[in-house]
Amino acid sequence: MDPRGLRRRSGLAAGKVLAFTPRMTRPDGRQHDELRPISFVPNVAAHATGSALVSFGDTRVICSATIEEDVPRWMRAQKVEGGWLTAEYSMLPYSTLDRKPRDISRGKLDGRSSEIQRLIGRALRAVVDLKKIGQRTVWIDCDVLQADGGTRTASITGGCVAMAIAFNKLFAEGKLKDFPIRKLVAAVSAGVYQGVPVLDLNYPEDKDASVDFNVVMTETLDFVEVQGSGEEAVFSSDEMTAMLELSRKGVSEIVSKQKAAILTADRAAPADLASLAAAFGGKV
Ligand code: UDP
Taking only the tens place, the pLDDT of each residue in 200-255 is 999 999 999 999 999 999 999 999 999 999 999 999 999 999 999 999 999 999 99
- Predicted TM-score (pTM) of the model is 0.91
Specify whether the CB–CB gap between 279 and 41 falls below 8 A: yes
**Strands (DSSP E) found in the chain:** 38-42, 50-56, 59-68, 84-91, 137-146, 185-193, 196-199, 211-218, 223-230
pLDDT the model gives residue 268: 67
Q: Is residue 14 over pLDDT 60?
A: no
Which CATH number is 183's domain given?
Answer: 3.30.230.70
Q: What whole-number distance in Å separates Cα of residue 153 and Cα of residue 119? A: 10
Q: Is residue 193 over pLDDT 60?
A: yes
Question: What residues contact 48, with CB distance under 8 A and at least 6 apart?
Answer: 64, 65, 66, 141, 162, 166
The segment with the largest mean pLDDT, out of 109-113, 237-241, 270-274, is: 237-241
Residue 12: inside a domain:
no
Specify whether the CB–CB gap between 192 and 209 falls below 8 A: yes
Mean pLDDT of 185-213: 98
Q: What angle do CA 144, 149, 152 make, to 5 degrees?
A: 55
Write out the residue range of the structural domain in which residue 160 sits: 29-95+107-267
Residue 7: inside a domain:
no
Specify whether the CB–CB gap between 190 and 200 falls below 8 A: yes
Question: What atom of ligand 1 comes closest to residue 206's alpha carbon?
Answer: 16
Q: Is residue 13 over pLDDT 50?
A: no
Confidence label for 15 from pLDDT (cuts 50, 70 and 90): very low
The total domain count for the chain is 1
DSSP string, 133-199: G-S-EEEEEEEEEE-SS-HHHHHHHHHHHHHHHHHHHHHHTT--SS--BSS-EEEEEEEEETTEEEE
Instruction: Tell me how far the alpha carbon of residue 270 lies from the centroid of ligand 1, in angstroms.
Output: 30
Question: What residues contact 237, with CB distance under 8 A and at least 6 apart?
Answer: none
Specify whether the CB–CB gap between 51 and 165 falls below 8 A: yes
Confidence label for 277 from pLDDT (cuts 50, 70 and 90): confident
Question: What atom of ligand 1 comes closest to residue 151's alpha carbon?
Answer: 24
User: Any residues with Cβ below 6 Å from ligand 1, and which?
Assistant: 96-97, 100, 112, 147-152, 203, 206
Residue 24: inside a domain:
no
Q: Is residue 177 over pLDDT 70?
A: yes
Mean pLDDT of 169-181: 95
Mean pLDDT of 94-113: 94
For 43-98, how does the pLDDT look when each residue is reduced to its tens digit (9 = 90+)? 999 999 999 999 999 999 999 999 999 898 898 889 889 999 999 999 999 999 99
Residue closest via CA to ligand 1's atom 24 equals 151
Residue 284: inside a domain:
no
Residue 90: inside a domain:
yes
Question: What atom of ligand 1 comes closest to residue 59's alpha carbon?
Answer: 15
Q: Is residue 31 over pLDDT 90?
A: yes
Residue 146: inside a domain:
yes
Q: What whole-number distance in Å separates Cα of residue 244 and Cα of residue 249? A: 9
Residue closest via CA to ligand 1's atom 7 equals 96
Q: Which of 95, 85, 93, 86 is nearest to 61 (CA)?
A: 95
Q: What whole-number distance in Å separates Cα of residue 225 and Cα of residue 103? A: 27
Q: What whole-number distance in Å separates Cα of residue 229 and Cα of residue 211? A: 6
Confidence label for 283 from pLDDT (cuts 50, 70 and 90): low
Mean pLDDT of 100-117: 93
Residue 253: inside a domain:
yes
Question: What atom of ligand 1 comes closest to residue 95's alpha carbon?
Answer: 7
Mutate-to-test residue for ligand 1 from 151, 156, 188, highest number of ligand atoms within 8 A of CB: 151
The rounded mean pLDDT for the chain is: 90
Q: What percent of the chain has pLDDT over 70?
A: 87
Q: What percent of the chain has pLDDT over 90?
A: 79
Residue 158: inside a domain:
yes
Question: What residues contact 227, with CB distance under 8 A and at least 6 apart?
Answer: 119, 213, 214, 215
Q: Is residue 140 over pLDDT 50?
A: yes
Instruction: Tell me how far the alpha carbon of residue 60 lies from the centroid of ligand 1, in angstroms.
Output: 12
pLDDT the model gives residue 273: 66
